[in-house]
Structure 1
């Protein structure tokens, strides 16, 4: 009986040690997963990235609103931890990818973004606009000027249909912004 107790005790200690070692090897669900995902996406072709984004989108749709909000917070925290150079590089990659799309692909992507915007509650929209405005206001004047120039150039590259749709979307989102200039 004594040997049986010692054997069970030893087995329990070994099992608990093995579980703690295994738990230490499992990566946390926090930002390392996001970092790994971002690194993996850097090595993909634009088509593969598009497929990956679609899969992520479907996965996010299955989550509860609270879980989705948590994922967005994690992603924003990851992006804010990046150095300005890394963020600029990521932005440039996204811009190149957008520019490589056909007008039809861009229109489809814009319609998906519009649907997402319409699904947001008015409070979420207001919060999002406020955050965007605050981020823009924090930029130094030369960066703001560069952004305006970049947007102007992008607008000039658009087809007439894209420009018309862009104006319509902006008027729907921010009515006072697209008002004709006072003369």
Structure 2
């Protein structure tokens, strides 16, 4: 199943409990809180980050059509250090964990769907880890551009630069070359 089919399955099964709209800079989740919801970004964009000393470290983005989750908190039910903050006014549909777990346990097909989602999340994390280990800014930029070209249309460049661990000026130079 691809992402569009997965979303359609979620809609067909009426898993989305409610939809909320958040303004720029509002939080879906704060550090130190537990959050076991699954979020679908209907419109807008969100960044997921952690604070390291005085510095924010962006680890993921979500924009229209993306599902985001504080996976560590979702799986454990424990507080997570991640923040989820709206970058551009966002409309977000929410699936509570209890409803989702009842759904995936209702059939072998849905359990396999969950396995597919988890596999995709693990592979995304592996790619992100590779990006962080690559020292050359140009190579990090090229990898992310190839993997997620829409990111550069949806997310302000200052956030992409943070995600890529470079200055906005370096990102600007790379985009021009």
TM range (shorter): under 0.3
Output the TM-score relative to the length of structure 2.
Answer: 0.26
Which has the larger helix fraction? 1
Output the TM-score relative to the length of structure 1.
Answer: 0.26
Which has the larger strand fraction? 2
Return the index of the structure with the highest Cα Rg.
1
Using CA pairs under 8 Å that are at least 6 residues apart, name the structure with larger relative contact order, 1 or 2.
2
